[in-house]
Amino acid sequence: MGEFTYHPIYKEVEKKNTVICGVNHVTDPDEDKNERKKFFECIAECDHLLFETNGRAGNTSLRNYESLAFSINRKNSRFLEKGFNPPEIYSMYGVPEKIALFYETMTATMFALHQNQRADVNTIISYYHSVYLLDRQQTNKLNQQWGNFIEFCNRTGNVNAVSQIGILFDNFSRGVRDYEIIGPTAQTLIRELDGRKGIVIGSLHLNFLYDYLMGREMSAPRSWTHAISESPLETQTTIRELESVI
């Protein structure tokens, strides 16, 4: 896991002519002009930029370091998770296939709340509908799952245990995305692209990606069942109850 930081942190992968910029997804670059200048100069030196996710940096409504970098060199920007379907990959690690996409949208909702944005579930579902090309049946199923989830929360009233599920899945999914998607895709693109490369990524991915690009042996992520087994008993119970009704 990387370091959670308010300002960007930088790691140079010298043999690959690549710099990794670990950022906080919610930091407004204009809040610190010196940090903004340092970041701008770093990105301006890059011939190609690689971003986490499948296109969030292109959302110009966000004021963060990713959108700033994208505005500097959008022509030569690529997204490390473009074309992948993370929920399908989560199911390889034991997440029930019927609930994997729900957990993904649940994490996205928590991210929106963390940014102090309005966590509009319909907007989030619409986003995933377009990203994963969901058909009407899949979209209706996701809407039904959210209805079941809201009913479950109202019935149990245990907000803390439910929020712990979101945190647990966020940590689990980050490890899977790093190992199965972000690391391998970054490695491939770096080999294919000429010139200097800049990777703008959430700071919690930074250390894994650096070690991966340095050729160090990386351990496969633990399964969802393993992740659950190491969580508090209350969280384990809530997950079993939630997955039975979703």
User: Environment class of residue 211 by beta-carbon count within 10 Å: exposed (0-12), middle (13-18) or buried (19+)?
Assistant: middle
State the angle between helix axes of 97-114 and 121-131 in degrees (0 to 180), rounded to the nearest 10.
Answer: 120
| Average pLDDT for the chain | 87
Residue 1 pLDDT > 60, yes or no? no
Q: How confident is the model at residue 133 (pLDDT cuts 50, 70, 90)?
A: low
Which sequence spans correspond to the domains of the chain?
Answer: 9-83+181-213, 86-170+222-245
Which span out of 10-19, 83-92, 93-102, 109-118 was modeled with the highest average pLDDT? Answer: 10-19
Residue 119 pLDDT > 80, yes or no? no
Q: Report whether 33 contacts 58 (CB < 8 A).
A: no
- CA-closest candidate to residue 63, choices 37, 29, 95: 29
**Which residue would you say has higher pLDDT here, 177 or 64?**
177
Residue 110 pLDDT > 80, yes or no? no
pLDDT at 217: 93
pLDDT at 116: 53
Q: Report whether 107 contacts 170 (CB < 8 A).
A: yes
**pLDDT per position as a tens digit, 32-61:** 999 999 999 999 999 999 998 777 655 555
% of the chain at pLDDT higher than 70? 86
**pLDDT per position as a tens digit, 88-103:** 899 999 998 888 888 8
Token readout for 243 is 């997955």
Secondary element (H or E) of residue 226: helix 224-229
**pLDDT per position as a tens digit, 195-239:** 999 999 999 999 999 999 999 999 999 999 999 999 999 999 999
pLDDT at 224: 96
Residue 154 pLDDT > 90, yes or no? no
Kindly report the CATH class assigned to 9-83+181-213.
alpha beta
Residue 107 pLDDT > 90, yes or no? no
- Long-range contact set of residues 21-24: C-beta below 8 Å, sequence gap at least 24: 21/65, 21/69, 21/198, 21/199, 21/200, 21/201, 22/201, 22/202, 22/203, 22/204, 22/205, 22/206, 23/64, 23/65, 23/66, 23/200, 23/201, 23/202, 23/203, 24/64, 24/65, 24/202, 24/203
Residue 27 pLDDT > 60, yes or no? yes
